[in-house]
Amino acid sequence: MPTWEASRLTHSMDLRTMTQSLVTLAEDNMAYFSSQGPGETARRLSGVFVGIREQALGLEPALGRLLSVAHLFDLDAKTPANGYRSLVHTARCCLAHLLHKSRYVASNRRSIFFRTSHNLAELEAYLVALTQLRALAYYAQRLLATNRPGGLFFEGDEGLIAEFLREYVTLHKGCFYGRCLGFQFTPAIRPFLQTISIGLVSFGEHYKRNETGLGVTASSLFTSGRFAIDPELRGAEFERIIQNLDVHFWKAFWNITEIEVLSSLANMTSATVRVSRLLSLPPEAFEMPLTADPKFTVTISPPLAHSGPGPVLVRLISYDLREGQDSEELSNLVKSEGPRGLELRPRPQQAPRAQSLVVHIHGGGFVAQTSKSHEPYLKSWAQELGVPILSIDYSLAPEAPFPRALEECFYAYCWAVKHCALLGSTGERICLAGDSAGGNLCFTVSLRAAAYGVRVPDGIMAAYPATMLQSTASPSRLLSLMDPLLPLSVLTKCVSAYAGGETEDPSDSDQKALGMMGLVRRDTALLFRDLRVGASSWLHSFLDLSGNKSHRNSVPTAGRCPPPDPSCQPLTHPAHRARLMGGPGWPPDPAPLAEPMRRSVSEAALVQPEGLLGTDSLKSLTLHDLSLKGSSDTSDTPELSLSAETLGPPTPSDINFFVGPDDAPDAKAPEELSTKDRGCGARAAFPEGFHPRRSSHSTTQMPLCSSPIVKNPFMSPLLASDSMLQSLPPVHIVACALDPMLDDSVMFARRLRGLGKPVTLRVVEDLPHGFLSLAALCRETRQAAAQCVECIRLILTPPAAPLV
């Protein structure tokens, strides 16, 4: 079916007209196939059109109710975007596809070239998808009934939220990963998503056998045949993987792009720059002037959380070689990247320092990827903007959970502000830019800079940022049921890892000792092995169409270490809190500095600091308990507030990650819930007689992170107090209409707008989360990436001088 035709129908017909047309066609096809005799195929075709008619009639009023109130949740009239609108649009896409397919069947059902089996399989798949979308519409109505006016995130006590989420995750998802994969996105994206899904399920098979790296990729090329030709098998396997494999699998899969061969191929299609250098910033404290009074300074300490001080890796990218970028001082910081040659090609004449600087923080769910993964579009930015870009390689969870990444990003940001001359910039304008998890860190780095009293960036460009990491539901989060890039179970695993709820990957210690290049050399041998045996495996995959091989529902546990003892949780011990906050108890006695904490799938896991004798488990504490312990354990340090009104000349000890109760935003008390809300569970949202399909895979491994740390405003900036948000610079957000994280952007922009802060929200249509990494894929992704560049350019453009 021409995908553009369904897309045209989606945008050209109103919901009621589309539903009525679909019902009429379904009744016509139903009558025709009912008259074709007792054959099994005719019976199934008749039955599928009965189902389409029933689901379309049931879905239309639910979508109408959502659409009638959706405007109440927009940022403004010029930005009609929120999760309710996105859910309605997604359902319209499914209805449009069924409408077009029903027309095709009605026109061609008598033809001898009519592919009965193919059309039946597609109709059945989209009928299941329509049924599940109807369930999501009812869940969205439940959110409307529970939330306060204008609120997009589920409100209520934690038990009610947990019940809602656990009920939601039992819905069947495989139909969205097979024939219906990516139906809601622009047609140009769908072949890419199909390739990714085939690679994912193939990678999952090899991951179960504890293979990683290039060898897995090569093997996958030869064993993915049956998944390519059997969409139902691929969808079922995809659902099993997202439900049962842990965060270490996703870290390994997302880090495939870190392999030298693949990253080199990506860079071949990107812009050519004169400077691309990996730098290692030494863990040395330095002074920064206070913005309120530059005569006073504040000490910026190196990152300390979880493993003590360690270097921070950053990548400098510049289209032109500028003054300072080839200085001896900067060259002393260059870190070797193995056989990959530096792209430093000095010209006889250097370009002058640029007036601006972009500090970039990459995404990857806090658990994966580096600046190298994002280098292709960063090179394009450097060319288009004509300014140096410094991309921060922060340490990754679960080996380095919160707040290590924030500490490193803040330290690197302050270093860049202080040493911008070395980076080829005068630093007159500085922009913080990031995507996804990097957008989250952009906001929290700015909040911390304001709390320290040092220079905040002149603006923030955040692409599809995550601003709410608490386990909760929203209308856009419901879209994670069908999103192949951000399934809900994967989101929760990443958040749990960042919050410290996931243990380190205790896989083969010999593999960890190899490092990235050791893995490449080892996996090169695996590649040649795979090439020898791959052909027969490939042929067997295409011949073996039954797909009856059973799969285990969990990752092998042999060789896994037990979870860490709660008494060794590093964030609960007073001495460690003192280190984290820069207060008493730090620095320790002189000791050799730790190795760089950059952690990708192939590097060594962190070793927990010794001597931490705290006995309280973080998960057993409330946010109020944490704030009290933070003050009681360090009796010589008074409890401090991050409020902008009371903050005096700051020192590192003023920066407390555990916000006191006065700083937390108001929340609806459990007593305020009505009796009806308390007794109305998720199942009660469905009308009598409607039963969506349930998943056949266990959901016990999907963690619902309940740690109070996720409510910390330095982790979930949407939960920051008004006084904290007042300290942010102008914010420009570029979000995706079909992104499960859309409501994070909308609600954050609404909070800033309500405080009178300058904020813009641009929402791109029909693209998935992570479009920056797909910028070279199609015209739509290039246009979306151009909007990000335009926002950065607005930040870097000095404001016009006032007229005299």
Q: How far apart are the first and last CA of the chain?
A: 63
Contacts of 591 (CB under 8 A, 6+ apart): 308
| E strand or H helix that includes residue 298 | strand 297-300
Please give the Cα distance from 139 to 481 (Å, whole number).
12
Q: 640: burial class by Cβ within 10 Å (0-12, 13-18, 19+)?
A: buried
Residues forming beta bridges with residue 314, ordered by sequence position: 279, 392
**What DSSP state is assigned to residue 79?**
B
Tokens of 370: 């580096």
| Burial of 644: CB neighbours in 10 Å, binned 0-12, 13-18, 19+ | middle
Comparing CA positions, the residue from 215, 380, 621 lying closest to residue 630 is 621
Joined tokens for residue 306: 């979880």
Residue 642: how many CB atoms within 10 A of its CB?
25
Query: Which residues fall within 8 angstroms of residue 440, CB to CB, at 6 or more apart?
Result: 434, 465, 466, 467, 469, 715, 717
- Tell how far CA 181 is from the center of its chain: 19
In the set 197, 263, 307, 436, the catalytic residue is: 436
Closest CA to 272 of 120, 380, 118: 380
Cα separation, 363 vs 116, whole angstroms = 45
Residue 377: which of 792, 782, 794, 745 has the closest Cα? Answer: 782
**What single letter denotes the amino acid at residue 598?**
R
Shortest CA distance to 8 belongs to which of 16, 22, 18? Answer: 18
How do strand 459-463 and strand 425-435 relate by DSSP bridges? parallel
Sole residue written with tokens 């990714």: 196
The DSSP code sequence of 174-220 is GGGGTTTTTTTS-GGGHHHHHHHHHHHHHHHHHHHTT--SHHHHHHH
DSSP state of 802: P
Helix residue ranges, H only, 633-734: 675-679, 722-725
What's the token pair of residue 376? 């292709």
Residue type, 447: L
Active-site residue, selected from the candidate residues 74, 530, 654, 739: 739
Provide the residue type at 197 as one letter.
Answer: S
The angle, 0 to 180 degrees and rounded to 10, between the axes of the packed helices 15-34 and 40-69 is 170
Whether 691 sits among the annotated catalytic residues: the reply is no
Please give the Cα distance from 704 to 645 (Å, whole number).
36
Q: Which amino acid is at 683?
A: R
The C-alpha atoms of residue 449 and residue 446 are separated, in whole angstroms, by 5
Q: Which residue in the list 97, 248, 362, 769 is annotated as catalytic? A: 769
Please report which helix (H) or strand (E) contains residue 745, including its range. Answer: helix 742-754
Which among 434, 433, 392, 431 has a CA at the least distance from the CA of 415? Answer: 392
**DSSP element (H, E) containing 461:** strand 459-463
DSSP 8-class letter at 140: H
- The question of whether 739 is a catalytic residue gets the answer yes
Catalytic residue set: 436, 739, 769
